[in-house]
Structure 1
């Protein structure tokens, strides 16, 4: 499919022009093409279509126009469905180079590259080909709503600028005679553009038309004086003088065109075309005339960590940062304000950033959105956070459903910038390691304030205001200790306090730990604390305070805690996840949950752990390596292995316990890696509790999957991945699902576990099928089948064939689907898997129904129903009842179909199976529509759409189309 906007709007499908219909439908198409792949909210359409007074049913009308556009695009030879419904609006999917603007930009970029490579003739030809794509004014036959007008204005200016670039390279290539006519026409149409006037003068002079070149200067001078009251610029005047003097160097086309007034940004870089592409491909850069963004509801946007009650000092730094924040007010025409707080470990960068953020929020600033993330730039045990993962997390917090999040970092960054457009947002990026990690996380519009903390200088981060944070002054250090100690010992022993501060290197984190130790020892004097620090074997006075000296401070707290607390502290250094719970700590240590929680709370009081969410603990990034060092030196190798095995196996069994409640009807793995007797698996009372646990532990569970094989537990790697499949599927965590299954696959392959390998391929096939990546899905299922057959795993064969058959049904390859189900059915029967038999019979009934064999379908479905009723398999029964409803709807027995659908929906609701409930609601809606009961159909579609949207299921788009059609037909 091709989309043309550089002139009258036109869509071509395999060479045939698609009739878009009425002007308002063309305008909707134009608004989507102005931002292809970018979400346009329904409210944005309303504002654009009816800028003065929208009608009462404006939203329904918008849905109708979008529906008519979708039908028009589907009417082409390819039948492509390009309009996607996503809350709160729509987007138009445009592949690379399908849009003429994209082709224009590609040719312009190639032309610039050729020019830089010293190939002016090739560059000129590429510029010529680029401009041949223009067929008139952009969106020429589309009503010029505000966004269309803004994009058109910018595109026209970009066309003029790049055409002047073309004239430049043509002159450099000696093509003066070839372009002089086009230049004359161009200057006549745009007499105030000095750059093109100078190009025309130079071309005329090189063609031996000196007098005409001088006359052109006088003409330009008169027009400028008459219309804007100014003289030509210095460069144009200088060229005029050189032509008067017949400067011989002007005749040489190989000379650099320094006499020509050039747009440096366009001539020397690719920033200008990037902006053009941005406005149409989803990169939301700030520029004049950019269309207004839609308003998007933020669903979880207050993400700042807790403020630090003990914060003190830093008044000069706070004043500077407040000044920068003032520059970021949204009513000032400026860029995003970025402040990078840099300094050594433990100097208080995060404390300062968090405290400033809370002060700004309390003053009513940046109150739309506040996002925070730990980029883990300096974590010895974990890689730095991947910007793609951070963007996924931010987008989910900003209300983007999981299956609507693009797979690549560039598209995620574009959608992220779009979600923050027109919002007053404060973004806190903690512990950054490099500029590349940060750039995708930066907003694109004024009114945002970004705070970055890093131990490294981010000097090449464009637009960032660097603040180098040093240690506290002696006065601030003593003040901080006094605030933490909470009594008058610091105030009455100022000299000793200054000595402690000096021994701690005035480093905030070391000062905090020392003062907390003083607070918990009311009989100590400040001198006692100073003597202990000074007498440390590491010698605080002779080493760098941020390294060994800091460890000495940690040692002071470590030696003062109990033996149980010391052991827990050491073992926590081995924890594979980012945060810790009492349950996971108990598994690590082989204790009860209560014992672990008491020790964790004690470590929290000692400031050896931090807590940002109640019940979840984490290390400061300086203390974790210290704890890991203690584990390596004070625990034997066998003790470390046992602790990790307890932890990883506990995660497997805990996830399996949650799975039994979250998806109780799915087949279980019966040979899970054995759980150590000292570990206790959590119990989950209901679906919601299991879901909350999965969400909170997701990052830790994925980390456990990654860590299992390297730590000698390959079976845990693939088994835990398998257990997590239902959660990944229902919550649309496609990245985690696929990466975990690949990790499990590698672990199974490494130890030659063919059962695990085939199981992972089967699960990958389901994942790729759900993502509509059918070719990959089929390949995975075929690999699984070969392995299952080679090891004579009949259960695996049957279920994999069943899943492969579902892929073929989705592809409408019904004969191949039926073959898969026919092969699976006797295997299910031979191994006595009646649940699988019932599901396979239902799938066969559905497939033969689609093939038109009603009699065979009835036989299969009757058998399936009998099996499922006999074994009370409500999970399978809901599907068979639905298929029976489909069968009677096919034969126009709508009343009977309704009864089957209602029974199916009742069963699904009893199982709390929201996805299947929504599918049945869809079928009920279709039946009501067939009966002419449109209000009932609309009600059922609305319920289904709400559920699918909440589940981030791709079917939400399809339901939105049906709902729109029904509402439109009721008008």
Structure 2
């Protein structure tokens, strides 16, 4: 045997060097560990039949290496592994981790390969077993426990013990006729031996606990869809979906010659299969079976979510059946939650959102989600949020959700909407605590946010979900939840200047209010919609929205609403070059707000007065009024408004020609804007400072400030923001008057 190993090693080295490959490159292509290639070439290791075959093929030996590997008289350990897959793609990291495990004689001797259904755990374990076969002179044994095979009979640990004792060649007379003593005989048979066990398709730790060798030289590879948390000392290798490149490569490999040159379509097929090897190989089998399909046509067919599960069934294998086995092991409440999760429009579902859907407390929801995660039906992406890939989501929607009655599905959606409305409203109140609010949101049980920073962190990540929920509410006739969400989102959209979602949510809010005959809510939505349009420069549209809102407010006799709409129309007059009319109207509006006791809106109106005065050239009064507004906002603890007022004063100084004062105020405004999280006001301040530098001939420094402004917020609108207008004229080397800032109510 040693002589044969030396001859094999010499031939391997000769062919590798002739091919111009290093040991490392050859190891990566096979794949196996580089140290094993070194051992083979030195004659200190024996190539398994599978490894010898792959080396022979890779080096173009046409059976030459296989001849050395199988010479007459060579003794080989019993290898009971099934054939390795011809289509295992990627997995270099996982194979390296398993390789480290099997060679490590000091650590645990059990390794669990765990992952969702169809992720390729068995193929990976078998390939790793073949790669490591020569390290186990006493054999490699394989057992399929059938826990996750549709229709299969599960193998019990007692039956497994008898099968292993037979494979280990324990004489029949030494095997007890009953169950008692089987484990002891098995452990004795392993004493002093080095055996690799591959225990596939295991459902629970109890199935295999009695099979785990006490002999530390033995190694066990276990595959399971469950985490098998009770195996405390096991090494765990998480097997996830393939990366995009490997997933597409697998489809091309399994799909045959017709996939050549269709890389983009192969990429789409792989993504529709959630990059799961089982789904990809089933798709490849379906594709091969129908010669009429092009890869492009097949990718288009798979794009249809309603037909995807049926396409991923080749008559013998089914991704749906694989998922069903995992679901069948769940308790009823967990199974129902799994189905209800697809009612959430987001890819990532927070624990509190899942709790709302299921109608349970968050602590109970976390336990249920953990059980789903243990079964790899969801994955924790963060500590407070789970995701499920598209195939599982489609399976849950088509097969599991219908098990829950329509009434409970509707109730779950309503619970989720109410929960998210409550959080969004809590967030809005912290972002702009002094804004006049009609009491739109009912008292909903649940905790809000402790502080502004926590609320801001939440809304920055969750606003796209809330926008989707707003549209979902509208689509399903949940009118009040739609407009409640849109109104609650407005505070953040104003801060972040997210005009498109602001407009879209308020447009559906207008439709819902109209459908419900809710004139007050419709007026509020129109008024807010006008601010969004004005803020991004759509002044004619904004004025139309304000006029509609004003008419409705007058119809229902809402004096505060009337004043708000008049205020917004006055702001628009400033933008449209009518500062005299604006100043007259704003003084009336401010008096009304003072009578209402609304100090915040009265101060905002004073800032508008300062802008109108700047346009009229009354610079001293403009500065004084901007500073008076700033002091009022500081008293009210409204940091965003403070930053806006300082920018307003800086603009008046700039227009008056007091560049030193303008620069000082713009620098202060930048600091204040950074503190309150307004990238828009920070960009405005940086633009204004760049203007000051440009006017004083410091072009390089000005360009630096303008670049900084662009990085903060690129869409500063010249028609409503004077600093942006001045920047454009300075950049062209011309002179032109600037325009004022945006309004807010």
TM-score normalised to the size of structure 2?
0.54
1:318: how far off?
Answer: 3.7
Match of residue 615, structure 2, among 836, 841, 850: 850
Q: Assess, with a 3 A threshold, how the Cα gap between structure 1 residues 347 and 764 changes in structure 2: closer, same or farther.
A: closer
Kept after mapping to 2: 8 A contact 1:865/1:880: yes
1:722: how far off?
Answer: 1.6
Kept after mapping to 2: 8 A contact 1:353/1:453: no
Q: Assess, with a 3 A threshold, how the Cα gap between structure 1 residues 680 and 452 changes in structure 2: closer, same or farther.
A: farther
Q: Does 1:587 align with 2:356?
A: yes
Distance in 2 (CA, whole Å) between partners of 1:734 and 1:612 is: 29
Distance in 1 (CA, whole Å) between partners of 2:253 and 2:245 is: 18
Q: Does 1:654 align with 2:423?
A: yes
Kept after mapping to 2: 8 A contact 1:702/1:736: yes
1:910: how far off?
Answer: 2.9
SS for the counterpart of 2:404 is helix
Q: CA RMSD in A?
A: 4.3
Match of residue 508, structure 1, among 318, 322, 340: 318
Match of residue 948, structure 1, among 664, 688, 713: 713
1:765: how far off?
Answer: 0.9
Kept after mapping to 1: 8 A contact 2:353/2:416: yes
Give deviations 1:85-120, integer Å, cap 9, x for gaps: xxxxxxxxxxxxxxxxxxxxxxxxxxxxxxxxxxxx
Q: Does 1:625 align with 2:625?
A: no
SS for the counterpart of 1:772 is coil
Matched ranges for 1:273-672 at <5 A: 306=243, 317-320=254-257, 323-325=260-262, 338=265, 351=276, 453-455=299-301, 471-472=313-314, 505-513=315-323, 554=324, 557-572=326-341, 574-577=343-346, 579-609=348-378, 615-618=385-388, 619-632=392-405, 637=407, 639-660=408-429, 663-664=431-432, 667=435, 669=437, 671-672=439-440
Q: Does 1:674 align with 2:442?
A: yes
Distance in 2 (CA, whole Å) between partners of 1:599 and 1:771 is: 45
Give deviations 1:425-467, integer Å, cap 9, x for gaps: xxxxxxxxxxxxxxxxxxxxxxxx9897344799xxxxxxxxx
Aligned to 1:700: 465
Aligned to 2:564: 799
SS for the counterpart of 2:537 is coil
Aligned to 2:508: 743
Distance in 2 (CA, whole Å) between partners of 1:871 and 1:577 is: 37
Distance in 1 (CA, whole Å) between partners of 2:369 and 2:582 is: 55
Give deviations 1:471-519, integer Å, cap 9, x for gaps: 44xxxxxxxxxxxxxxxxxxxxxxxxxxxxxxxx423313423xxxxxx
Distance in 2 (CA, whole Å) between partners of 1:511 and 1:567 is: 18
Between the two proteins, the alignment pairs up a number of residues equal to 470
Q: Assess, with a 3 A threshold, how the Cα gap between structure 1 residues 685 and 866 changes in structure 2: closer, same or farther.
A: closer
Q: Assess, with a 3 A threshold, how the Cα gap between structure 1 residues 707 and 311 changes in structure 2: closer, same or farther.
A: closer
Unaligned runs of 5+ in 1: 1-303, 329-336, 357-448, 459-467, 473-504, 514-553
Give deviations 1:518-573, integer Å, cap 9, x for gaps: xxxxxxxxxxxxxxxxxxxxxxxxxxxxxxxxxxxx3x654532233134234335
1:653: how far off?
Answer: 1.8
1:683: how far off?
Answer: 5.5
Distance in 1 (CA, whole Å) between partners of 2:651 and 2:452 is: 35
Aligned to 1:383: none
Aligned to 1:888: 653
Kept after mapping to 2: 8 A contact 1:587/1:647: yes
Q: Assess, with a 3 A threshold, how the Cα gap between structure 1 residues 857 and 579 changes in structure 2: closer, same or farther.
A: closer
Kept after mapping to 2: 8 A contact 1:308/1:351: no
1:788: how far off?
Answer: 2.0
SS for the counterpart of 1:580 is strand
1:947: how far off?
Answer: 1.7
Distance in 1 (CA, whole Å) between partners of 2:676 and 2:299 is: 47
1:829: how far off?
Answer: 0.7
Distance in 2 (CA, whole Å) between partners of 1:323 and 1:565 is: 44
SS for the counterpart of 1:922 is helix
Aligned to 1:770: 535
Q: Assess, with a 3 A threshold, how the Cα gap between structure 1 residues 939 and 647 changes in structure 2: closer, same or farther.
A: same
Distance in 1 (CA, whole Å) between partners of 2:638 and 2:577 is: 28
Distance in 1 (CA, whole Å) between partners of 2:724 and 2:278 is: 41
Give deviations 1:589-621, integer Å, cap 9, x for gaps: 232333213312322443544677883323431
SS for the counterpart of 2:442 is coil
1:576: how far off?
Answer: 5.0
Unaligned runs of 5+ in 2: 1-240, 282-294, 305-309, 735-745
Distance in 1 (CA, whole Å) between partners of 2:444 and 2:712 is: 40
Aligned to 2:53: none
Q: Assess, with a 3 A threshold, how the Cα gap between structure 1 residues 609 and 320 changes in structure 2: closer, same or farther.
A: farther
Kept after mapping to 2: 8 A contact 1:806/1:817: yes
Q: Assess, with a 3 A threshold, how the Cα gap between structure 1 residues 774 and 892 changes in structure 2: closer, same or farther.
A: closer
Aligned to 2:216: none
1:696: how far off?
Answer: 4.3
Aligned to 1:141: none
SS for the counterpart of 1:724 is helix
1:899: how far off?
Answer: 3.3
Q: Assess, with a 3 A threshold, how the Cα gap between structure 1 residues 452 and 597 changes in structure 2: closer, same or farther.
A: farther
Q: Assess, with a 3 A threshold, how the Cα gap between structure 1 residues 926 and 858 changes in structure 2: closer, same or farther.
A: same
Kept after mapping to 1: 8 A contact 2:272/2:303: no
Distance in 2 (CA, whole Å) between partners of 1:685 and 1:883 is: 25
Distance in 1 (CA, whole Å) between partners of 2:297 and 2:462 is: 27
Q: Assess, with a 3 A threshold, how the Cα gap between structure 1 residues 845 and 817 changes in structure 2: closer, same or farther.
A: same
